Structure formats: structure tokens, C-alpha cells
Structure 1
Amino acid sequence: MRFQACTIVRQFLRVQTIYETALLSNCIPKSSFEVTSRFSGSFPVPQSATFLQDDKNAKVVLLGTVHFSKQSIEDVSEIVKHLNPNAILVELCRQRVSLLELDDKQFLEDAKNFDARKFNREAAKGQNFVSGMLHAMLLKTYADIAKELGVAPGGEFRRAYHEMKKIPGCKLFLGDRPIQITIARAFQSLSVYELGQVLYHLTTANPKPLDKHQLEKYKDKDFVQAQFEEITRDVPAFKKIFHVFVDERDKCLAYSIQECVRSVKKPRVLAVVGMGHVDGISKYYGKMKQEHIIPLLVIPPEPLYKVFIRKGLKFTFYFMIFSFFYRLLFG
């Protein structure tokens, strides 16, 4: 049962990771740097980068990255060289911050010879049981994808982290919503029937192996739209899940960037996020208020059927313990 649950969550996280990659809308050629003239004082940036703000108050660059892309890693360094930021924000939360300390070569080696006990032991360090299990499942998901693509996850975030440490006074900000809240909100947004659809799809689907060369297809908007329509046609409930995983997080990330700008003097901010979040962040940046974000950080009350199931299992467990001791004492 525990193995089945882990498989379900890993498949769910895998779908989310690949979906973010699939939201790419523009091609990013290998030599993608060009001077942007939309803003005064602009400097060379990749085509995947956007100036959220470029005025006397702040200079804010939003870099959209392709997860598992070596070019995206180099894009980070190129922008840092020109911007010399005093704050860098990455699309991570505290539960995923360990990605910043991963050793790429060691991770790829471990992924090829996956040791579940080692990964679970490392994941559980300094965390409670739930956070540790979730972290372990995230690592397993990353390991599966890394093994298929030959690239360690989060390389662009690690590069941003290491570049930050080279700049005196530069601060690192974690901009994403806690992953537990996102998963809980996604599943609780579903009805019983929709939840059944999603669980059936995730447990029976046999995803095709990833090919890093085939990922380029996801830069074509028509191809992406066709993929999205196909999966939501088969399982309409995924529309709700993608809303929680993408649109809600776009708002949270936009608000985090706003707070990052507000908290540093003469801000020169680089925000590094997955390409799938760029359009949403650009749309919401400067418009988000605290009252807009607080509801997105709350896990909705459990539906009654879940409460009954949880309490039923709890009392069943207590009854079994009572029955065991009763038979032990009174034969």
C-alpha cells in the first residue's frame, strides 16, 4: 500500500514537471543572446529573459528556464555577469531547497544505481515524517527523469545559488509556495469522481521514456496545445490540477518577486523560474497584494468523505489494538 501511494505521488509530480516543460512557447536557440531595446539601459539578455521592471526604482529580470537544460544554466551566469544582482530569487520552497546542494555527478551516478534507503535517509534529515517522505518522493522523481535524460535536476537553480555566493551582499530568496500545500490543494480541488479519474490515470498510465532531443518539440506552441487538449480530453480533472500547479503558483511567485524587490535597497533582482511560469508572472507582477496570496496558502477543509474514511481507519486501528489486548488478558 505504501509503495502504491508513493508511486501515485511520483507519477503526479512527474506529470507536473513535464507539464511545466511543455508550457514553452518560444524557441530558444543555442546562441540566444540579443540586446533588448524595449527599456532604457538594457543589456544583453537571452530571448527567454524578460524585464519585469527597468526604471529608477528597480531593475528586475525574469529568466525562464527549460528544466534539465544545460543552456539554461549558462543563461543564468550570462545575466548575472551583466546585472550584478543584489538579490536572486529561485522557483524553490524550503522543502526543495536541498536541490541547491546536490552534486550533479554524484546524483547522476546515484540515479543510475538508485538506493531507496540512502535517498530516504538523506531526505529525512532534519525534517518531520511527512516532509521527509515527500522529499524522498521528489528525489525519486528527479532520479527517474535524470536517469532518462542524463541531466541532474535544478541545475539552473544551483548555478544561481553559486553565482549569488560570489557577489558580496547578494541575497537568495525562495519564491515558491510549499510543495505540500500545492499537492493538498490540487487533490482537494477534485470531487470524488474526479479524484478517481486522476488516480486511475496515474496508476495505469505507462509514460513513454523521455528523450532530451525530443524535448525541443515542447517549444512549439501548437504541439503543446495539442498535448494539453489530449490529456484534458482523456482526464478533464487535470484542468483543475494544472490551475493549482501553474496559475496559483504564478501568483505566488509574482508576489514573492514583489516582496524581494521591496526588501532590498536599490534592487537589481534576477528571478529564475521554469519557462511555464513566465507568462503568468509577467501578467501578475506588480498587481498582487497580501490578501490575494493568503487564500492560496491555505489548505481547504477536508471533504466529509475523507474525514469519515480517516476517522473510520483510526477507530478501526484502535479497535484492533483493544481486541488484541482483550484476547491476551481474558483469553
Structure 2
Amino acid sequence: MKYHACIRQLQKNLKTVALTNRAQIFRTVRSRNYGGYSNIKLPTSATLVQNDKQGTVVLLGTVHFSKQSVEDVSQIVKVLKPNAILVELCRQRVSLLELDDKKFLEDAKKFDSRKMKQAVKGQNFVSGMLHAMLLKTYADIAKELGVAPGGEFRRAYHEMKKIPGCKLFLGDRPIQITIARAFQSLSVYELGQVLFHLTTSNPKPLDKFQLERYKDKDFVHAQFEEITRDVPAFKKIFHVFVDERDKCLAYSLQECVRTVMDNPRVLAVVGMGHVDGIIKYYGKMKQEDIVPLLFA
């Protein structure tokens, strides 16, 4: 199998998700609902999803390699003064909060097949391959942009520690479950179709001067359309990676608000690609809806 060709093609697909963003222009949200905040200064990438007697919830959509997204976190913390912060991480990725940016960038420059094999040791071939591709994608983007991933989550974590009584919540489903479910959703024919596409395609490398295009939602939608048009089976993979996780994140956010007893003021920090789905499902998810999504 052309292993490195697999990695290159999936990187193209993963970058469409990893680099999604919108213009970072601040606006003032005026809420007609009851709440502690009638005017909140927010970046356009943030949404006030709840502001009533039960609590105030701000959802910030980020780009995982964006320095502006990191600053947006601090801006919202300053005006919201949250007593809970939820981040798009699971226990398997919580080490990202203590990541040394400088060391990660140094390691990214030395990321090779040996390190990939070490990172996915103990996983089956298909899950291990996708996990390796994810790691390689992040390493390559980090090398290209000179920015370590997850800076917005680290900023949220450090801001949380400055606020007395503020709690941090991990909102995402375990990454290994997501990877396993993605490939289990495919038939043998679809899996062959995906692997054939990955091994025969030769995508262009990331052009850092074109990154601004990922702020355009229409452009990103067109990228997804192109991928799924070429290989319809990718729709199933995207369903597991995006839609299912939107439901899990929405439910986690609901539980976060419910467990903060005293006037919940919650900031949720998630990738931009999850914002629309979380807004769609927030307040509607029940435990019985989520449990089936937590098993591979």
C-alpha cells in the first residue's frame, strides 16, 4: 500500500476541517431574553446560544492553528467572566492543555514514519492508519504555519485557572471511538473505494498564503462537496467526525450548564466546523440519544 500517499490525500480532506474560520470582526450582541447580560461584545466567530434564567452560554468557533482564535478566548472571558469553560477535547487529548508549543514545533519538524508507528501502537490497522494521518496533518500544518495546534484550548485552560471557582469541562467523545466508528460505518466496498482514492490521489501542498479562503463558509462547503462527489463514502466518515460529535458536544454543554448551580456563565470553545451543529442540537439532546454514540 502506498502509505505516504494515503497520508497526503487525507491531509487535504482534514485541512478543510482544521482550517475553517470566519472573519474576526467584533460585534455587540443585544439579547431580548432575561439574563445577566443585555450587551455582550463578541467576535463574529462567537454566538450567544443562551441568555435566560437558567444561564448564559457563549459558543466560540475557532481555528485550531489561529492566533486570533486564542485572543478571542481572552476577549470573551474578560466580558463574560465565566464560572465554567467547556473545550472540544476528550481525556485522551487532555495533554494538549499542557503542551509546550516550542517543543511541539521542534518535534513536528522531526515527525517521521517511526514516530507515527509509535503513536498508534496497539490499534488495529485501519484505525491506526487514520490516527497516524491525523497526527501527520497536525504536524505538517504546524511546520507550515509555525503554530502549535490547540492554542485556544490552552488559553481557555489558563484563563480558567485565573478565575476563582471556575471549572473546566471536557466536552468531546474519545477520539479512538470516533475513529473506530468512522471506519465501521463503511461497507467493504466503500472502504475499498476510500483506500483506493487515498492511494491514487496526489493533492497539492498547503499554501499558507491561501489560508484566508478558509474563513469563507461557502469555500469550505465547496471543498466538502468536491471530496464527497469524488468519493461518496466520505459522507459517512464526515457524519461520524462532525454530526455525531456535534450531538455529543451539545449534550456535554447542556450537562455543563446543568451542573453549574450558581448563575451559570459558560464559555464553550470548539472548532468552527462544529458551531452550526451544536446550535442545532443544543437543548434537545437526551442521555438516551448519546449513549449509542459512545460505543465503537
Under TM normalisation by the shorter chain, which class is it? 0.7 to 0.9
Structure 2 residue aligned with 1:36:
29
In structure 2, how many angstroms separate the alpha carbons of the residues matched to 1:52 and 1:221? 20
Matches within 5 A, 1:173-192: 173-192=169-188
Letter in 2 for 1:83: L
Letter in 1 for 2:26: F
The 3-state SS of whatever aligns with 2:31 is coil
In structure 2, how many angstroms separate the alpha carbons of the residues matched to 1:293 and 1:149? 36
Out of 53, 60, 73, which is 1:56 matched to? 53
> CA offsets per residue over residues 14-42 of structure 1, 9 Å max, x none?
35642324655xx414xx22211134523
| 1:82 to 2:75 alignment | no
- CA-CA distance at 1:212 after TM superposition: 3.2
In structure 2, how many angstroms separate the alpha carbons of the residues matched to 1:159 and 1:116? 31
| 1:202 to 2:198 alignment | yes
Largest Rg, 1 or 2: 1
- CA-CA distance at 1:135 after TM superposition: 7.0
- CA-CA distance at 1:215 after TM superposition: 1.8
Structure 2 residue aligned with 1:280:
277
- Contact 2:31–2:38, Cα closer than 8 Å, also in 1: no
The 3-state SS of whatever aligns with 1:213 is helix
The 3-state SS of whatever aligns with 1:68 is coil
Q: Which runs of 5+ in 2 are unaligned?
A: none
- CA-CA distance at 1:171 after TM superposition: 1.1
- CA-CA distance at 1:143 after TM superposition: 1.2
- Contact 1:157–1:272, Cα closer than 8 Å, also in 2: yes
Matches within 5 A, 1:178-257: 178-257=174-253
Letter in 2 for 1:28: A
Letter in 1 for 2:91: R
Determine what percentage of the aligned residue pairs are the same residue: 75
In structure 2, how many angstroms separate the alpha carbons of the residues matched to 1:217 and 1:137? 23
Q: 1:154 to 1:285 in 2, by over 3 A?
A: same
Out of 258, 262, 278, which is 2:258 matched to? 262
In structure 2, how many angstroms separate the alpha carbons of the residues matched to 1:140 and 1:164? 30
Structure 2 residue aligned with 1:70:
67
Aligned CA RMSD, in angstroms, stands at 2.7
In structure 2, how many angstroms separate the alpha carbons of the residues matched to 1:229 and 1:137? 21
- Contact 1:67–1:274, Cα closer than 8 Å, also in 2: yes
Matches within 5 A, 1:295-314: 295-299=292-296
> CA offsets per residue over residues 116-157 of structure 1, 9 Å max, x none?
667877x59xxx8449x7877654432122112221111111
Letter in 1 for 2:69: S
Q: Which runs of 5+ in 1 are unaligned?
A: 300-331
In structure 1, how many angstroms separate the alpha carbons of the residues matched to 2:286 and 2:145? 39
- Contact 1:66–1:72, Cα closer than 8 Å, also in 2: yes
- Contact 1:36–1:42, Cα closer than 8 Å, also in 2: yes
Q: 1:109 to 1:174 in 2, by over 3 A?
A: same
Q: 1:115 to 1:233 in 2, by over 3 A?
A: closer
Out of 92, 95, 105, which is 1:108 matched to? 105
Q: Size of the alignment, in residue pairs?
A: 288
- Contact 1:85–1:170, Cα closer than 8 Å, also in 2: yes
- Contact 1:95–1:135, Cα closer than 8 Å, also in 2: no
In structure 2, how many angstroms separate the alpha carbons of the residues matched to 1:298 and 1:56? 35
> CA offsets per residue over residues 277-303 of structure 1, 9 Å max, x none?
10110010000000111111122xxxx
In structure 2, how many angstroms separate the alpha carbons of the residues matched to 1:47 and 1:290? 31
- CA-CA distance at 1:218 after TM superposition: 2.1
Letter in 1 for 2:238: F
In structure 2, how many angstroms separate the alpha carbons of the residues matched to 1:218 and 1:287? 30
